[in-house]
């Protein structure tokens, strides 16, 4: 069984442990404040606690379950963190400072170890799902991200399909919302859009914006690009998106990874306009980045290519002429060494600018 840590416990249970270790209940709140308000990530640095209490906590209730094993920063200051979890599995988190000095950074977090969806253009999907992340493992990505610099937005667009781990994600986001102060409109959760799950969540108005990765207007091609959803009609996905808007009042963003020569033709753009006509939504076009999507040391292992800037711009124009709001998001942090194509494919849509 996994060892208890401070953040794997509910606040009340953590208070009880602190009392067992000779502290007072409010000392548990001091720990939370040190972490959430001051960004402290070690008991040793919490000098308002007695040395005895810090030592007991250190020995018997570690603060975090994960540890940072790798950090890479690109020239545009995008930083990728690799975190090792208690069982040795690893997850990636990316901290992306805004290009505008007055805005904080966007943090991109993961929700699963591996991913069961199997998109053929994504390295993470090839190995399949290992396991869901626990709520505290999702939360800890925020804590490490904050240690790099202020975080004002979050995108749940890292490894994994968030709606297949929704309750742990929502548990983590509740803490992020309440204690890190990142509001619902500044958190975007990106899903492939399982209609039943979107419909079930919508009336609960979870604290985030929804982005649905569509990638094509054609059912047969979507079965190929998003294998876990094979057989689910695109119309059902869009109808679930509409239901989300009706229930939450928040518009859906549709994400479309532009794969050179595969889904970036004028016909695809025109059919996408037909699909989304009348929907309250925006479309993010994300030109595919084959280098980012490769497994380590396997740059040419993918069969798609990056579209030209002109193709991406033409695609966007067709959408705009059709009455849709559309933006092209080029990747950031291209020189960051990353194992996961997914994170970097999505950097562009994750900038928050
Ligand atoms: S693109 Fe997203 S949903 Fe698809 S395999 Fe990669 S992580 Fe999973």
Query: CA-to-CA distance for 105 and 84, rounded, in angstroms?
Result: 23
What pLDDT score does 304 carry? 86
Flag whether pLDDT at 55 surpasses 50. yes
Q: What is the mean pLDDT of residues 219-246?
A: 97
Query: CA-to-CA distance for 223 and 237, rounded, in angstroms?
Result: 13
DSSP 207: S
Q: What is the mean pLDDT of residues 258-265?
A: 96
Query: CA-to-CA distance for 253 and 214, rounded, in angstroms?
Result: 10
Domains of the chain by range and CATH? Answer: 6-60 (1.10.150.530), 67-350 (3.20.20.70)
With cut-offs at 50, 70 and 90, classify the pLDDT of residue 135: very high
Q: What is the mean pLDDT of residues 151-156?
A: 94
With cut-offs at 50, 70 and 90, classify the pLDDT of residue 2: confident
| Helix 11-20 × helix 25-38 angle, to 10° | 120
Flag whether pLDDT at 12 surpasses 70. yes
Query: CA-to-CA distance for 160 and 212, rounded, in angstroms?
Result: 14
What pLDDT score does 289 carry? 79
Flag whether pLDDT at 294 surpasses 70. no
Any residues with CB less than 8 A from the CB of 289 and at least 6 apart, and which? Answer: 306, 331, 334, 341, 344, 345
With cut-offs at 50, 70 and 90, classify the pLDDT of residue 339: very low
Q: Whose alpha carbon is nearest atom 5 of ligand 1?
A: 125
- Ligand 1 binding pocket includes 257 (Cβ within 6 Å): no
Testing ligand 1's pocket by substitution, the residue of 118, 125, 189, 257 carrying the most ligand atoms inside 8 A of its CB is 125
- Strands 151-156 and 105-108, by their bridges, are parallel
* Contact predicate 192/117, CB 8 Å: yes
Question: Residue 161 Cα, ligand 1 centroid: separation in angstroms?
Answer: 7
Q: Mean pLDDT lowest for which of 7-16, 46-55, 242-251, 329-338?
A: 329-338
- Ligand 1 binding pocket includes 18 (Cβ within 6 Å): no
Question: Residue 125 Cα, ligand 1 centroid: separation in angstroms?
Answer: 5
Q: What is the pLDDT of residues 302-314, one digit of tens each?
A: 578 889 999 999 9
CA proximity to 111, closest of 220, 12, 187, 35: 187
Question: Residue 45 Cα, ligand 1 centroid: separation in angstroms?
Answer: 38
With cut-offs at 50, 70 and 90, classify the pLDDT of residue 296: very low
DSSP-H helix ranges across 180-256: 195-201, 219-225, 234-248
Q: What is the mean pLDDT of residues 90-118?
A: 88
On the CB side of 271, how many CA atoms lie within 13 Å of its CA?
Answer: 15
């Amino acid at each position: 069984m996994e060892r208890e840590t401070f953040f794997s416990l509910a606040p009340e249970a953590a208070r009880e442990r602190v009392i067992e270790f000779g502290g007072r209940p409010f000392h548990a709140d001091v720990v939370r404040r040190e972490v959430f308000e001051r960004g402290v990530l070690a008991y040793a640095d919490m000098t308002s606690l007695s040395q005895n209490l810090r030592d007991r906590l250190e020995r018997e209730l570690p603060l975090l379950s994960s540890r940072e094993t790798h950090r890479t920063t690109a020239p545009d200051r995008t930083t990728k963190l690799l975190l090792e979890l208690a069982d040795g599995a690893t997850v990636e988190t990316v901290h992306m400072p805004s290009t505008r000095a007055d805005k904080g950074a966007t943090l991109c977090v993961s929700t699963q170890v591996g991913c069961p969806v199997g998109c053929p253009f994504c390295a993470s999907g090839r190995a399949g799902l290992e396991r869901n992340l626990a709520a505290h493992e999702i939360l800890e990505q925020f804590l490490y991200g904050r240690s790099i610099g202020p975080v004002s937005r979050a995108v749940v667009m890292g490894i994994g399909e968030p709606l297949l781990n929704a309750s742990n994600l929502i548990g983590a986001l509740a803490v992020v919302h309440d204690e890190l102060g990142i509001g619902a409109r500044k958190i975007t959760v990106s899903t492939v859009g399982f209609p039943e799950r979107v419909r079930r969540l919508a009336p609960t108005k979870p604290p985030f914006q929804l982005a649905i990765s569509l990638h094509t207007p054609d059912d047969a091609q979507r079965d190929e690009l998003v294998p876990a959803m094979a057989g689910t009609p695109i119309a059902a996905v869009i109808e679930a998106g509409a239901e989300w808007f009706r229930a939450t009042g928040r518009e859906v963003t549709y994400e479309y990874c532009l794969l050179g020569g595969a889904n970036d033709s004028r016909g695809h753009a025109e059919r996408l306009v037909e699909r989304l006509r009348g929907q309250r939504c925006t479309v993010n076009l994300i030109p595919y980045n084959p280098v980012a999507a490769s497994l380590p040391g396997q740059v040419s292992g993918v069969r798609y290519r990056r579209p030209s800037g002109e193709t991406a711009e033409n695609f966007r124009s067709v959408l705009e002429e059709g009455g849709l709001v559309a933006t092209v998001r080029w990747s950031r942090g291209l020189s960051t060494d990353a194992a996961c194509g997914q994170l970097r494919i999505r950097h562009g849509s994750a900038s928050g600018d």
